[in-house]
């Protein structure tokens, strides 16, 4: 048997960065605001540029790729309902 244990109450983001005062991270090609509880940000097409609105500023995909710091950030999601945890783990 393996000693590997899976903790379903924590998510590890390995590619986080800071933009406009918020901590953001990619997970499975989706961008999440992980400043507090992880929240998925909606993607927009702004005149042919794909990106996200963070606060009042637009963050393009190309600019976000340059900001990524490859360090692990663990977030506790134990306070969320089970269906919200499943959505974050998908």
pLDDT band at 5 (very low <50, low <70, confident <90, very high): low
> Is 52 within the bounds of a domain?
yes
Q: CB–CB of 31/43 below 8 Å?
A: yes
Query: Region 56-64: what's the mean pLDDT?
Result: 92
> pTM, whole model, 2 decimals?
0.80
The CA distance from 71 to 55, in Å, is 24
The CA distance from 20 to 44, in Å, is 17
> Is 18 within the bounds of a domain?
yes
> Is 39 within the bounds of a domain?
yes
Q: Does the pLDDT of residue 87 top 80, yes or no?
A: no
Q: How many domains does the chain have?
A: 1
pLDDT band at 67 (very low <50, low <70, confident <90, very high): very high
> Is 5 within the bounds of a domain?
no
> Is 3 within the bounds of a domain?
no
> Is 85 within the bounds of a domain?
yes
Q: Does the pLDDT of residue 19 top 90, yes or no?
A: yes
* Cα within 13 Å of Cα(31), Cβ side: 21
> Is 2 within the bounds of a domain?
no
- Helical H segments across the chain, by residue range: 61-67, 82-89
Tokens of 85: 């945890």
Q: Does the pLDDT of residue 26 top 60, yes or no?
A: yes
> Is 50 within the bounds of a domain?
yes
Residues of the domain holding 53: 10-89
């Amino acid at each position: 048997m393996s000693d590997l244990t899976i903790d379903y109450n924590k998510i590890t983001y390995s590619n986080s960065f800071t933009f406009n005062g918020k901590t953001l991270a990619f997970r499975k090609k989706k961008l999440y605001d992980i400043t507090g509880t992880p929240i998925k940000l909606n993607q927009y097409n702004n005149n042919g540029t794909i990106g996200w609105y963070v606060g009042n500023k637009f963050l393009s995909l190309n600019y976000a790729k340059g900001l990524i710091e490859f360090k692990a950030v663990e977030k506790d999601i134990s306070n969320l309902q089970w269906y919200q945890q499943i959505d974050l783990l998908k």
